Structure 1
Amino acid sequence: MSKKYKRCATDQYGTEVFFHEALMGDQVSELRVRTPEEATMFFVPIYGECFLWQYEMLRREPRVRSYELTNDFYMEALAIVRGQYPFWNRTLGRDHIFVFPGARGPTIFSDWQIHIKNSVYLTPEGDRKAFYYDTWKDIVIPGLEADERFTHPASRQQLVDNPPERKFLAYFRGTIFHREGNAYSRGLRPRLHGLFVNQTDIIYNTKKKECDRQCYRQEMAESVFCLNPLGWTPWTLRFYQAVMTRCIPVLIADDIEFPFESGIDYSEFALKIREKDVDNIVELMRSMPEEERERRRRVMDRIWQIFTYQRPPVGGDAFYATMHELARKHRMFKSSSIHEWR
């Protein structure tokens, strides 16, 4: 499916393809075992987001029908997992891993609560209020940025060695006014528009056709702060792109959980502003001394690669950070009620 639809492997939801391909690669053979009896966890490769996209967006099937087909797709895959392999029933699927790369999480599989509620989800959507996200068992991962202009170490180092002039105080391009009104972003994005309307050194606008990805990256690199207001959900790829371009991320999403929080102190490089306090955002950004801005960039220089998916995976990138998180979760699972020690 990913060969037929290249988008499924290269857009921000491409992690369901990436993890499968990476785990099958020779470079990470140390993570695989020869027999399932040796395994501590099982990866289930299902391209559900890609499958749903081809019906919902490409073929323009009605939403209900697209979800029905996607549900059937998952059920067929689970029939294979449960019918041909005896390992699911040992833990009721608790040691099985699924990637749900979009903001809708496992809800793209309508019957997920019946069949895979105990399983581990790799998802970019760390929304603490979402009923389908469980911080105890699930793992927040970065979205996929496949453009090497953002992710290649040499491209990143150029921004360190020859930093561009920072022409803009803050930067955002994306949806601001939505047809659903204030239901979208809880009205935050239109509110920010009102705050920035007279600020000549802030780019806060919708995407424009003449600004391609190279232009987008350049504008980010020329900005001191990159704004990340919530949309329908808290997560956004902009956060990771900001770190990749040495632009200090400004998070405005109260309920967000970040990737790899057990090992990263986000307060060392990012700003997080409560939604109710956003009226002070311009003053907060302008008042930060240049020394502090540069210190935060240096922190990002040390950790930026953990938000990238290198091809092939390398130590310290998002793939290996996720593997470390899985190992940590597995140790926690040993203390759960379904295990016994002898």
Structure 2
Amino acid sequence: MPEKYKLLLSMIPFYLITLSLFLLIFSSLPIHQFSEFSVLPPLTSQTQFPNFGPSSEGTICPPSGALTCDENQAVLKVYMYDLPPEFHFGMLEWKGNGNEIWPSVNDPRHIPPYLGGLFLQHGMEYWLTLDLLASNVPSVVRACSAVRVENSSDADIIFVPFFSSLSYNLYPRPLGKAKLALDQILQEKLVQYLLGQDLWKQHGGKDHLIVAHHPNSMAYSRKKLASAMFVLADFGRYRAKVANVEKDIIAPYKHVVRSIPNGQSAQFDQRSILAYFKGTIYRKDGGAIRQELYNLLKDEEDVHFTFGSYGKVGINKANAGMAISKFCLHIAGDTPASNRLFDVIATRCVPVIISDEIELPFEDVLDYSEFCVFVHASDAVKPGYLLNLLRGIEGDEWTKMWVRLQEIAPHFEYHYPSWPDDAVDMVWKAVSRKVPALRLQFNRKNRYSRAQTTSSLSTTVSR
């Protein structure tokens, strides 16, 4: 036998012993060391989430049966009305078979896509509804903060699946010889339906959740349904009795620019522009400040402050410009908030917020001062004030905000299926934080319900 074969044979026992030791050590490791592994990618600053919708760069098909959502683990139990399709997916030209109310959500490719362009920025009504539908489908891997329940008595909140923003965008004016816009007709039908429901009457609608993210949505019905909890963009066009921070939820706009992956985001020294703004400059109401700032900043060499449009070319230019800017200005327009802030976050440009009345999503759990610069409007229009402030922020301080910006950016991304701590999941968690105050109201009201019932019966008998 050749010497080389003898050598190989002599080493076989060594390899077997080594392999046995490895298997012994591996099998003795505590199970909990592996329990952290999941088919879901961890939510880190490096995690990139594909978007679902017309503007998506891709869709995802989760592994079948990889994760089920336990109703008892959800932080929010939601009962959803089975409204006819005309109130939701029917607006997207979806037609079910027979008496079908909802599309199948097993495969994202078979779900009617939401409309693109600027329609998309108010599409959270769509993602929230899809997420509830998916909560009862074991094959869909999703975040498990909210789950749909079949019995309303088990629910923390009652969800009204009306695509109000889409309704306003599609049907704002009467068609042909019609006297009323279809948007108004749908709202009136919704009001009639809700006010006639025992579920609404039980607590006066206070435990109902209605998405009205477009500032002009629900204009005909918001006062009649004001007791409900609204999901809004801001409170700019609402009276305090109708919408306020105590009872309602502020949800982020869906950004329209492309998200820049954290690994591709330029650092401080790679950004040649100090401050960036591209958009509509002449606005009414509180947005008049845009023109004042334009006159102050337009001739500064390291500032880009120009008119811009929301066409495809304009969006792409804004995307590129924000990506090489240290600071991006979010200035009040017709309303205190807009999707501009979330475009800025998507491009990993440090936001400068000049909007005194702005309400921000999830601010009870997020400290925006860690990744944004806030400037009072009255200070911003003082000659030299804004530029001196921004130029005084050195690289280390800017980088600290930039790093934090990358960490929180996933909270403002909408997906189907939803991911842990993405925008859909964060909205549900924000709603869940309102529930204890609602329960307190309801329980206090029930204190004397037995006595009131007895008194009512006594009055009836005496008659």
**Alignment RMSD:** 2.9
Equivalent of 2:402 in 281, 289, 297? 297
1:78 matches 2:194: no
Change (3 A) 1:28 1:87: farther
Equivalent of 1:95 in 201, 207, 214? 207
Give me the whole-angstrom Cα distance separating, in 2, the residues matched to 1:61 and 1:21: 35
Equivalent of 1:3 in 74, 89, 92? 92
Change (3 A) 1:13 1:288: same
Give me the whole-angstrom Cα distance separating, in 2, the residues matched to 1:65 and 1:284: 51
1:68-147 matches, within 5 Å, as 69-83=182-196, 85-104=197-216, 106=218, 108=219, 110-113=220-223, 115-127=224-236, 130-131=239-240, 132-145=242-255
Give me the whole-angstrom Cα distance separating, in 2, the residues matched to 1:60 and 1:13: 27
Aligned twin of 2:426: 321
Aligned twin of 2:439: 334
- The one-character-per-residue Cα deviations of 1:33-58 (angstroms, maximum 9, x if unpaired) are 12222112111011222222223379
1:265 matches 2:345: no
1:310 matches 2:415: yes
AA paired with 1:196?
Answer: L
Aligned twin of 1:44: 160
Give me the whole-angstrom Cα distance separating, in 1, the residues matched to 2:409 and 2:239: 27
AA paired with 2:414?
Answer: Y
User: TM-score w.r.t. structure 2 length?
Assistant: 0.64
Change (3 A) 1:251 1:59: farther
| Long gaps (5+) in structure 2 | 1-89, 94-113, 449-463
SS at match of 1:191: helix
1:79-228 matches, within 5 Å, as 79-83=192-196, 85-104=197-216, 106=218, 108=219, 110-113=220-223, 115-127=224-236, 130-131=239-240, 132-145=242-255, 149-150=258-259, 155-160=260-265, 165-178=270-283, 183-207=284-308, 211-228=313-330
- The one-character-per-residue Cα deviations of 1:190-246 (angstroms, maximum 9, x if unpaired) are 100111121122111111568343332221111111101100110011111212211
Structure with the higher helix share, 1 or 2: 1
Change (3 A) 1:285 1:79: same
Give me the whole-angstrom Cα distance separating, in 2, the residues matched to 1:128 and 1:328: 24
| Long gaps (5+) in structure 1 | none
Change (3 A) 1:270 1:22: same
Give me the whole-angstrom Cα distance separating, in 2, the residues matched to 1:284 and 1:339: 51
AA paired with 2:133?
Answer: M
Residue 259 of structure 1 and its aligned partner are, at CA, apart by 0.6
Larger radius of gyration: 2
Is the 8 Å Cα contact of residues 9 and 17 (structure 1) preserved in structure 2? Answer: no
Change (3 A) 1:58 1:314: farther
Is the 8 Å Cα contact of residues 176 and 193 (structure 1) preserved in structure 2? Answer: yes
Residue 185 of structure 1 and its aligned partner are, at CA, apart by 3.3
Give me the whole-angstrom Cα distance separating, in 2, the residues matched to 1:50 and 1:61: 22
Give me the whole-angstrom Cα distance separating, in 2, the residues matched to 1:34 and 1:339: 26
AA paired with 1:39?
Answer: A
Give me the whole-angstrom Cα distance separating, in 1, the residues matched to 2:305 and 2:176: 32
Is the 8 Å Cα contact of residues 13 and 144 (structure 1) preserved in structure 2? Answer: yes
Give me the whole-angstrom Cα distance separating, in 1, the residues matched to 2:124 and 2:177: 24
User: TM-score w.r.t. structure 1 length?
Assistant: 0.85
SS at match of 1:259: coil
Give me the whole-angstrom Cα distance separating, in 2, the residues matched to 1:60 and 1:271: 49
1:246 matches 2:348: yes
Count of matched residue pairs: 326
Give me the whole-angstrom Cα distance separating, in 1, the residues matched to 2:441 and 2:205: 14
SS at match of 1:78: helix
Give me the whole-angstrom Cα distance separating, in 2, the residues matched to 1:54 and 1:297: 38
SS at match of 2:446: coil
Is the 8 Å Cα contact of residues 164 and 222 (structure 1) preserved in structure 2? Answer: no
1:8-47 matches, within 5 Å, as 11-25=120-134, 26=137, 27=142, 31-47=147-163
Is the 8 Å Cα contact of residues 122 and 139 (structure 1) preserved in structure 2? Answer: yes
Change (3 A) 1:310 1:89: same
Is the 8 Å Cα contact of residues 2 and 17 (structure 1) preserved in structure 2? Answer: no
Equivalent of 1:55 in 150, 159, 171? 171
Residue 122 of structure 1 and its aligned partner are, at CA, apart by 0.4
